[in-house]
Structure 1
Amino acid sequence: MTGALPPGLIIAAPRSGSGKTTVTLGLLRALVRRGLNVQPFKCGPDYIDPAFHAVASGRPSFNIDSWAMRWEHASSILGDASRGADIVVGEALMGLFDGVARPGFWGNGASADIAAKTGWPVVLVLDVSGQSQTAAAVARGFQGFRDGVTIAAVILNRAGSARHIRFATDALEAAGLSVVGALPRENAVVLPERHLGLVQAEETAELESRLDALANFIEANVNINKILSVATPGAPGAGVGSASRPPGQRIALARDAAFSFVYPHLLAGWRKAGAEILPFSPLADEAPDSSADVAWLPGGYPELHAGTLANAERFKSGLSMFARSRPVHGECGGYMVLGAGLVDSEGVRHPMAGLLGLETSFAVRKMNLGYRRAELLETCPLGSRGDILRGHEFHYATVLCSPDLPLFKLENSDCDRLQGGGGRRGLATGSFFHFIDK
């Protein structure tokens, strides 16, 4: 798609924890209830928020990233996904201008890159607890901080009394910023969380009623007509691009509560290229389809299901048989399951598939987070030897032992060489690296 994108806006904030997700989910569901076709997307690398977006809007949500994704690929995703949409609503990552020090493909990973590139205006969510008029100084600093990024409206979050709201609103409007809503502190509608963010959408009890309650909350406290009035058409797309060739014509994909971290743009790209995806559930003790060309185990929360996976003999034996003749690849959680053993948070070791020698532990957690540039040392489902891939890493596992040959030469966004370039043994490969683009 090379024409203009539909009217859109980006929900952003000065920092994480300001209420972006609450506003985004409530707004998505409220707009759908008005009969609008709403296309969501997420700025930056995130698996969990897009799954909630999809349920709230009824349309798949896609990730767009300026550091790890080529613009021609990003614009193709935006164009394809937003066909037939009346409005596009994006959710920013962290603070609006937060990114890394060195630029990637077309930016440093900041959500502001996407706002500037598309021309979609920003609705700024401000946590005004503990301040009133000072909120205007904060928001005023956002306006004009970067060329091409427009702050079109402000939503106050965690607001107190009517007097508190009036003080903040008067100051913001005097600074030329329109306040379109004020969310009170007493919001009883919350979504459960765990160490990687929100609990997954498929695990959240009574999700539909929770999303409806969020929509009620937004409708009661935000002027949605004003929100719609600030949305503007996005800049024309740059062309057609794809992340990579599919790893096979028929792809056996592990897919259940333990293996849910796979980017929608990756699956869409595989399908667009003509590949067939054959899901199977390791938690249900299912083996990969014997007719598949490749097996792919994405990330997720295998540490929460380690006992079940350890006892899934049909899955483990079927995977081992598959790997004798066809490639098997694991990302992050999938990589850990391909390993020899996983120690849970209680210190109990669970035997895994044993296709790699990796031993990991959650008894002592260590956060690993950041963009990654990876050079393939051997041909595998991700690409050919020498290919340069871009993606990210986010996990809390500690590596106890990793005796296999490395899969990558790995660098962070500062171009520092990193240890932990995954592993390869026979036709089995894996790493903590989440692939985005190349």
Structure 2
Amino acid sequence: MSGKGLLIAAPRSGSGKTTITLGLQRALVKRGLTVRGLKCGPDYIDPAFHAAATGAPSANLDSFAMPDTLLGQIAGEAAEAADIVVAEGSMGLFDGVPGEMGHTGASADIAAFCGWPVVLVVDVSGQAQSAGAVALGCVRYDERIRVVGVILNKVASERHRRLACAGMERIGLPVLGALSREASLILPERHLGLVQAGETEDLHGRLDALADAISAAVDLDAILAVAEPTDLPVTRHGAPALPAPGRCIAIARDAAFSFVYPHVETGWRATGATLLPFSPLADESPPETCDSCWLPGGYPELHAGRIAGASRFLAGLRRFAETRPVHGECGGYMVLGRTLIDADGTAHAMANLLSVETSFAKRKMNLGYRRAVLQANGPLGSAGQALTGHEFHYATIISVGDDAPFAMVTDPHGSAPVPAGGRRALVTGSFFHAIARFTGQP
């Protein structure tokens, strides 16, 4: 029988969803429960924190970019392996993009799809009883979901707590916990979100501190009581989200290259593919035994000097690309290009396997879902294959160069197709992070 589940969500970003989710996950693990975390939306950092907090794999659930079969497979497998799934929403509970009902990318879509109740995190700083009106709006906005309780965050005093609780009592919404303002509970951040789990100093000590704070401030018995069995309407088995780019895949993995969606790697392994990690920052080349190379996104802009000086890595990558496909996503795309300009304005020579030149000195946020149609056969599929995915970066393109485009890309808001990325011989890349093949069916 599938384990129970619930969704931790909020009316808006910045309410404390991630810290409260991690604290709950860790606190329930310390109670002896088997816990799995899942993340709504395309965030590729939070699942690694969930995995650290629970000691078990985490993954993304994205109602815009994923077909129902894939959503059911990911959520179903997590629920079957756990006593409880503690999923984390993204942005505000109902925030999404234009799309069919249930396929907008909103966290509420996932709660409705999986049958999970919602526990609302409300940042009550600057308000008291009015927080009850905000919560009431969330309760009534979407009849597909059920908000079963609230956790108050950033409570200033005992009097503040009583006033905010009075607002929730007026609307009949149980208060499951109340956390005071505590700067030490904040996880470190950088320009793309939280500092990665593997780079966070004393991560497990921080997670234990979060668990202790949650255990003291939140009624864990009540949290367990409101969780409900996972209710999935579709099969939990399906094709991998993306085709494996090879049977043995060399994949860059270190502090500069880490943004790979867990469901993508899981799907590749399920087809029998082997993934062999290597570290460009350690000046390692792609293993010669592999038949394809994948450079994920990450933070190469913070390590541009080291990458430019990694002569064995760059020479080995160029040699590999002479006979086998190489693909770079976002940060990996930047490294495949001619130059990468760092935040100080210093230009660093990259692999020169594509002609793009990028800059982190000239920053502009690029964020949002994308639908990409491949322009030639390659590691992600045949020409004409459509993919759904996401783009999130601050780097800008100084010169696109003369390479043919990797894909034609649109967004969900009706934009005209534009060329994206580049391809030259066996090398491809773009800022687009692929999530799943698009079939035209939910």
TM range (shorter): over 0.9
What secondary structure does 1:430 align onto? strand
Given the alignment, which residue of 74, 79, 82 partners 2:76?
79
| Deviation per residue, 1:388-428 (Å, 9 max, x gap) | 10001000011011121101011011231254511001100
Report the secondary structure of 1:143's partner residue: helix
Displacement after TM superposition at 1:321 (Å): 0.6
- Structure 1 unaligned spans of 5+: none
What residue number does 1:423 align with?
A: 422
CA displacement at 1:145 relative to structure 2: 1.2
Superposed CA offset, 1:355-412 (max 9, x none): 0001000111011011000000001111111101000100001101112110101101
Structure-2 residue corresponding to 1:255: 253
Could you give the per-residue CA deviations for residues 218-257 of structure 1, whole angstroms, max 9, x where no partner exists? 1111111101100001113511222022111100000111
User: How many pairs were matched up?
Assistant: 434
Provide runs of 4+ in structure 1 moved above 4 Å: none
Taking the TM superposition and a 5 Å limit, the aligned residue runs for 1:358-437 are 358-403=356-401, 404-437=403-436
Cα offset, 1:301, TM superposition: 0.1
| Counterpart for residue 134 of structure 2 | 138
**Cα distance in 2, alignment partners of residues 273 and 98 from structure 1:** 34
Q: Distance in 2 between matches of 1:395 and 1:236?
A: 34
Paired AA for residue 235 in structure 1: D
Which residue is 1:289 aligned to?
287
Task: Give me the CA root mean square deviation.
Answer: 1.1
Please give the secondary structure, in 1, of the residue aligned with 2:7: strand
Q: What is the distance in 2 between the residues matched to 1:237 and 1:58?
A: 28
| SS in structure 2 of the partner of residue 225 of structure 1 | helix
SS at match of 2:376: coil
Distance 1:419 1:334 in 2: 21
CA distance in 1, matches of 2:398, 2:155: 47
Q: How does 1:304-319 map to 2 (within 5 A)?
A: 304-319=302-317
Q: Within 1, Cα distance between the matches of 2:189 and 2:65?
A: 27
> Are the equivalent residues in 1 in contact too, given 2:409–2:417 (CA < 8 A)?
yes
SS of the equivalent of 1:246 reads coil
Structure 2 portions without partners, runs of 5+ = 438-442
- How far apart, CA to CA, are the structure 1 residues paired with 2:317 and 2:18? 38
Question: Superposed, which structure 2 residues align to 1:81-160 within 5 Å?
Answer: 81-103=78-100, 106-160=102-156
Secondary structure of the residue aligned to 1:251 is: strand
Alpha-carbon separation, structure 2, partners of 1:186 and 1:289: 46
Cα pair 1:13 1:125 within 8 Å, conserved: yes
Matches within 5 A, 1:167-316: 167-239=163-235, 240-241=237-238, 242-316=240-314
Alignment partner of 2:148: what SS? strand
CA distance in 1, matches of 2:241, 2:15: 32
Asked whether the 8 Å contact 1:99–1:109 carries over to 2, the reply is yes
| Contact 1:7–1:87 (CA under 8 A) maintained in structure 2 | yes
Any idea what SS the aligned residue of 2:173 has?
coil
Taking structure 1 as reference, are residues 37 and 384 closer, same or farther at Cα in structure 2, changes over 3 Å only? same
Amino-acid identity (%):
59
2:36 corresponds to: 39
The code of the aligned residue for 1:357 comes to: S
The match for 2:440 is none
Kept in 1, the 8 Å contact 2:242–2:435? The answer is no
| Paired residues of 1:76 and 1:237 also in contact (CA < 8 A) | no
Aligned partners of 1:77 and 1:237: how far apart in 2? 13
Q: SS in structure 2 opposite 1:182?
A: strand
CA contact (8 A) 1:5 1:237 kept: no
1:328 matches 2:326: yes
CA contact (8 A) 1:5 1:236 kept: no
Query: Secondary structure at the residue paired with 2:413?
Result: coil
Tell me the distance in 2 between the aligned counterparts of 1:171 and 1:319: 60
